[in-house]
């Protein structure tokens, strides 16, 4: 347990959905854990997760774009973490086919690859399938974070479908939380957090 002085060193600042997701990941993941980055993108989340799992943990990372895998590989290798990550050129909805063990956490950052074509974006159908797969993979006490970007048509559909999925989860097995900044623009990123109870 942290002592009061350590807790008071850094003041709390309420920031965006991505920062909230990262805060939850820091609390949930311990060195040696296995986790999943469901949306590799530029590799920032993969690198962050590699740091959290330490030298004895492992990160499985997914993306359907070769450019995303290449960017992530470069970032992870530069940090010296190549042995901590399996980078897969595959849709996140296939994670059950590639991850053969329980995981402590799964991180989704939906939308498109920053700096690339906006025509290639996560899709509602495969996103829902991926989240369902993630819920089956996480260990009791494990979490799934999902950053959603409703500022475009597909993102709005994803948010609606994900909220329905989360709201329908059995409360005896899962806790589901929805973060939405109510004084911000409608297209502001939003966060869903799901934790498996048992």
Question: pLDDT confidence of 168, banded at 50, 70, 90?
Answer: very high
**Any domain includes 5:** no
Question: pLDDT confidence of 38, banded at 50, 70, 90?
Answer: very high
86: CATH: 3.40.50.150
**Any domain includes 135:** yes
**Any domain includes 27:** yes
**Any domain includes 10:** no
**Any domain includes 11:** no
Boundaries of domain holding 64: 16-113+123-196
Tally of domains in the chain = 1
Map residue 131 onto helix, strand or coil.
Answer: helix
pTM of the model: 0.91
Lowest average pLDDT, out of 113-122, 127-136, 146-155, goes to 113-122
**Any domain includes 106:** yes
**Any domain includes 1:** no
**What secondary structure does DSSP assign to 141-173, as a single string?**
EEEEEEEE-TTSHHHHHHHHHHHHHHHTS-TTT
Q: Is the pLDDT of residue 113 over 60?
A: no
**Any domain includes 50:** yes
Q: Kindly provide the residue ranges of all beta strands, DSSP E only, lying in 58-156, ordered along the sequence.
A: 58-63, 85-89, 103-109, 138-148
Calculate mean pLDDT across residues 162-173: 96
Rounded-to-integer distance, Cα 189 and Cα 132, Å: 21
């Amino acid at each position: 347990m942290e002592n009061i002085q350590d807790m008071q060193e850094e003041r709390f600042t309420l920031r965006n959905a991505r920062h909230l997701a990262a805060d939850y990941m820091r609390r949930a993941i311990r060195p040696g854990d296995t986790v999943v980055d469901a949306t590799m993108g530029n590799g920032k989340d993969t690198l962050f997760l590699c740091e959290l799992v330490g030298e004895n943990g492992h990160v499985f990372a997914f993306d359907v774009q070769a450019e995303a895998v290449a960017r992530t590989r470069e970032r992870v290798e530069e940090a010296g973490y190549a042995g901590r990550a399996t980078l897969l050129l595959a849709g996140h909805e296939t994670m059950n086919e590639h991850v053969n063990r329980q995981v402590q956490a799964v991180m989704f950052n939906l939308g498109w690859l920053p700096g690339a074509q906006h025509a290639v974006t996560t899709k509602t159908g495969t996103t829902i399938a991926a989240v369902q797969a993630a819920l089956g993979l996480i260990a009791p006490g494990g979490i799934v974070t999902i950053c959603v970007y409703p500022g475009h048509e597909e993102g709005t559909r994803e948010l609606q479908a994900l909220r329905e999925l989360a709201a329908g989860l059995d409360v005896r097995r899962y806790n589901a939380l929805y973060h939405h900044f109510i004084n911000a623009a409608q297209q502001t990123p939003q966060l869903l957090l799901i934790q498996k109870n048992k």
